[in-house]
Amino acid sequence: MIFKRILMTFCFLTLSFNEIYSQNNTLQADLEEMMQWFEGEFDNFQQAWKENEDQVDENIRHERIHSIFKKVDAPKLGDQVFYVKQFQNGDTTNIYRQRIYNFSINKTEGAIQLDIFSFLTPEDGKTYAMANHNPSLLKAIDFKDLRASPGCEVYWKKNGDHFVGYMKDRACHFTSRRSGKEIYITDTLKLTEDEIWIQDEAEDADGNYVFGNKAGIPHKLKKCRFFKGWIGIEKAPGSDEFYFMKNIILHDQGQKVQLIDDKDGTKTKYSVELSEVIYASGIEVLKLAIYEDGKEKAPAYVWANPDAKQIGINIRTMSAGFTLIEAK
């Protein structure tokens, strides 16, 4: 009888160990996959553009936001650390959020845990504003250099072909300086290999709306692909001289760059834009367009399949060509 109990206990412990080992392996594999999907730049240009085309009620339209998630080497913080920068309306100087994200495995929750940190002062934010281009700026950063957000942890779990992120109910909150009321934040997210959906919402202690999309629709950001190319514009009708600019880097989610002549630095009235849009027929395309200041409609544009690796245009007076920068 005693031997039987010992055997049953051994079997139970063996099963428990195997379950824990299997869960740890699964979470580690999920973490590695998620980190590959998460790194990059994301933009909801397509969503904002389509809502404008469809004349969606302005009260429920989405702001255009651009998110940069750059993995950095910050050994004092952890192994999976990201510098995060977000700006609005395609304006890289209109930064509204800078954060440090630290990912780890939470065995108790059976999830990947995201801890969110902010910089201590606005001056620190300026110091690290270009960390996505120069990650070494964050090499020596420590927890003492950052402000934690207890209760605002996001937990991520794999669900089929995507990850779902969530916060604990009413765990993330702060006291409003303006109203003196407690504000509760909810963050619901979805991450795929090509997109991240972000649904930030907040309400006060009485359940009154504070911020978030009033229709309950998340910001749907698509991962940017980057292209390198050139543009040439005729200086005057019938002229043999062209304004020309090469080595232009554009992402395909609505980035626009002004044509500045390589030869003499002349700032022209023309810009080139690369975007992924959906036309009324529901067809998604990659669009290359040349714009003139003060005019809403592009005098020249062309489209291709959204997964195209090259795109170009030539109408004699203006031409441009771009090629996908393949990931290394």
* pLDDT tens string 130-156: 999 999 999 999 999 999 999 999 999
Round the average pLDDT of the chain to a whole number and report it.
92
What is the C-alpha to C-alpha distance for residues 199 and 215, in angstroms, rounded to an integer?
11
Q: Name the helix (H) or strand (E) containing 120.
A: none
Single-letter amino acid, residue 43: D
What is the C-alpha to C-alpha distance for residues 155 and 9, in angstroms, rounded to an integer?
33
Contact residues for 236 (Cβ-Cβ < 8 A; gap 6+): none
* Residues β-bridged to residue 87: 66, 95
Query: What is the pTM for the complete model shown?
Result: 0.89
Q: Residue 268: which of 297, 246, 291 has the closest Cα?
A: 291
* H helix intervals, the chain: 2-38, 45-53, 122-127
What per-residue confidence (pLDDT) applies to 328? 57
Residue with tokens 């085309």: 53
Q: In 10 A of CB 279, how many CB atoms? A: 12
- Paired tokens of 249: 């880097």
Widest CA span of the chain, in angstroms? 102
Q: Residue 171: which of 190, 155, 189, 186 has the closest Cα?
A: 186
Q: In 10 A of CB 91, how many CB atoms? A: 10
Residue 179 confidence class, pLDDT cut points 50, 70, 90: confident
Write the pLDDT tens digit of every residue in 291-316: 999 999 999 999 999 999 999 999 99
Q: Strand 182-191 vs strand 162-166: parallel, antiparallel, or unpaired? A: antiparallel
What is the average pLDDT across 37-61? Answer: 95
- Paired tokens of 95: 């930064």
Please say whether the beta carbons of 305 and 288 come within 8 A. Answer: no
Residue 277 confidence class, pLDDT cut points 50, 70, 90: very high
What is the C-alpha to C-alpha distance for residues 23 and 18, in angstroms, rounded to an integer?
8
> Residue 251: is its pLDDT beyond 70?
yes
> Residue 279: is its pLDDT beyond 90?
no
- Paired tokens of 22: 């299997």
Write the pLDDT tens digit of every residue in 317-326: 999 999 999 8
What is the average pLDDT across 100-126? Answer: 96
Q: How far is CA 288 from CA 206, 235, 237, 254, 262, in A?
A: 48, 21, 23, 10, 21
> Residue 280: is its pLDDT beyond 80?
no
DSSP state of 104: E
List the beta strands (DSSP E) in 167-225: 173-175, 182-191, 195-204, 209-211, 219-223
Contact residues for 221 (Cβ-Cβ < 8 A; gap 6+): 42, 43, 44, 47, 65, 66, 67, 195, 196, 197, 198
What per-residue confidence (pLDDT) applies to 23? 65
Single-letter amino acid, residue 286: L
